[in-house]
Structure 1
Amino acid sequence: MKYLLLVSHGDFSIGLKQTLSMFAGDDALKSVIAVGLKPGEAAATFNTRFEALMRTLPETASFVVLADIVGGSPLTTVCNVLNDHGKLANALILGGMNFPMALAVLMGKGTMSNAALKEKALSEATGGIKEFQMPTTIYSEDDEDDI
């Protein structure tokens, strides 16, 4: 099974997983894992927690990893553990995770190659960043008859 592994500082990954359930449903979330480095937690403790989680997964597990920050302690710790389990070489790892990126990966990970998934995820991640502008047209009471 290919897992979507959300990695963050704090509870960002847990909240993102919860939000994904609102769009993809609970069945899709069976292949989503959210882990976060807790405030004040040592990287070694986080390593131990993630190592224990890895031991519960099937040997055939593969991973698409989305992280909040490339180079941060949570991601480097996860990568070290994946490497120790022989899973790093075949993993797709992307940083700067956001909701559009995570949803695209969740929906495509079962059917797309890692190369295609990377393109889709990065496109969705950057495409979702836009300025929201309020309409500038103000309607008056006189305009109500025209609507």
Structure 2
Amino acid sequence: MKSLILVSHGDFSTELKKSAEMILGSQENIFTVSLLPHEGEKEFTEKFDAVADSLDGDYIVFSDLLGGTPCNTISKKIMNGANFDLYTGMNLPMIISFVNATLIGNPLSILEETKESIIKVNDLLDATNFDEEDE
């Protein structure tokens, strides 16, 4: 089974995993690596490597912020020949998409599904109110 590693500034990745588990139940194939305020790239890399090295098989990485230390550090691994997918802009719909695809055995469509989850609710409500007024 493919694994997912969430990387972030602070405990965002840990708390995001907890939120996903609140919705989806326990996720044994999702791991987190947090860059804490007192740490630098070296410490973060060591923690990431410990998680990645413990996994059997493929994994994907979701990062919180393009251009931030977690994403930049992981990007260097890809530039040095590591073979895994790295996505940035990590959010809860991305994790749900990953879990659903993994459970069903479908190909991952993280970008498409996540883009579709971004909706300005005001517009949705305006459209609903307009429809109700017509009836």
* Residue matched to 1:74: 70
| 1:98 and 2:94 correspond | no
Larger Rg: 1
Aligned match of 1:112 in 106, 111, 114?
106
Q: Return the alpha-carbon distance in structure 2 between the equivalents of residues 92 and 52 of structure 1.
A: 18
Which runs of 5 or more residues in structure 1 are unaligned?
138-147
Deviations 1:60-112 (A, max 9, x none): x211211112332112323445777x7x32x2221111111111012213513
- Seq. identity, %: 32
Secondary structure of 2:121's aligned partner:
coil
C-alpha contact 2:65 2:89 (8 A) present in aligned 1: yes
Aligned match of 1:62 in 58, 64, 79?
58
* Residue matched to 1:126: 115
Q: Return the alpha-carbon distance in structure 2 between the equivalents of residues 106 and 7 of structure 1.
A: 17
C-alpha contact 2:7 2:70 (8 A) present in aligned 1: yes
Secondary structure of 1:44's aligned partner:
helix
Which runs of 5 or more residues in structure 2 are unaligned?
130-135
Q: TM-score, normalised by structure 2?
A: 0.77
CA 1:33–1:82 in structure 2 vs 1: closer, same or farther (change >3 Å)? farther
Aligned-residue Cα RMSD (Å) equals 2.5
